[in-house]
Amino acid sequence: MLAIRMQRTGRKGQAQFRVIVQDSRRSPSSGNIVELLGNYDPHTKVANLEKERILFYLNNGAQPSDRVLRILTSQKVQIPKWVEKITKKKSATKNPTKLRKNQPKVETVVEEVIVAEPEVKEEPAEETAVEEAVSDEIKAEDQVVETTEEVAVPEPAESETTVEAEK
């Protein structure tokens, strides 16, 4: 059986294709072709085809490949009815439950962060009067230090000091 297929030519990254007629049992790279029917440039989508010769081979039983069939329909070549048309096969999804659209919706809840207050240890009730007096003095010193830090007198700027000195 004859096949109308494409044979890749051109260098790496610059593919060009020949449209050829070849025995279907042969590889396109074997070089054993029946006839060269044209060429196709996939970068510019330009196809130069001999339409009369293509129709001759199609009418005599040559089966075009899927890609050649697309090119022939874009070039408006009349395809015989017996030629197998390209149909997109819709395959079944292997694991439909794993698709995102089938996953249950997760509500995004902002978690409230609860800050635990440090536990205050209760001192035993047997505390002596001396310890209470010492702790009161320490607390009083802490309060004094805090108040002195809060009350800070700003120093006058140099321009103000020179004005005061001249008077």
Does position 37 have pLDDT exceeding 50, yes or no? yes
Instruction: For residue 154, tell me if it sits in a domain.
Output: no
Q: Measured in whole angstroms, how far is the alpha carbon of residue 87 from the centre of its chain?
A: 30
What pLDDT score does 162 carry? 56
In terms of residue numbers, what domain contains 33? Answer: 2-74
Q: How many residues does the chain have?
A: 167
| Average pLDDT, integer, range 65-75 | 90
Q: How many domains does the chain have?
A: 1
Instruction: For residue 164, tell me if it sits in a domain.
Output: no
Instruction: For residue 118, tell me if it sits in a domain.
Output: no
Phi, psi at residue 97, to the nearest 5°? Answer: -75, -20
CATH number for the domain that contains residue 25: 3.30.1320.10
Instruction: For residue 166, tell me if it sits in a domain.
Output: no
With cut-offs at 50, 70 and 90, classify the pLDDT of residue 17: very high
With cut-offs at 50, 70 and 90, classify the pLDDT of residue 71: very high
Q: For 38-48, what is each residue's pLDDT tens digit? A: 999 999 999 99
Q: For 100-157, what is each residue's pLDDT tens digit? A: 888 887 777 666 667 777 776 665 555 555 566 666 666 655 554 444 455 555 666 6
Instruction: For residue 149, tell me if it sits in a domain.
Output: no
Does position 20 have pLDDT exceeding 70, yes or no? yes
Tokens of 4: 């109308």
Instruction: For residue 155, tell me if it sits in a domain.
Output: no
Integer CA distances (angstroms), 79 to 57, 60, 65, 70, 72, in order: 11, 12, 13, 11, 8
Instruction: For residue 158, tell me if it sits in a domain.
Output: no
Instruction: For residue 6, tell me if it sits in a domain.
Output: yes
Look at the block and give the residue holding tokens 């070089």.
31
The whole model's pTM is what? 0.51
What pLDDT score does 145 carry? 46
In the chain, % helix, strand, coil (3-state, to 5) comes to 35, 15, 50
CA distance 127 to 106: 57
| Average pLDDT, integer, range 95-100 | 83
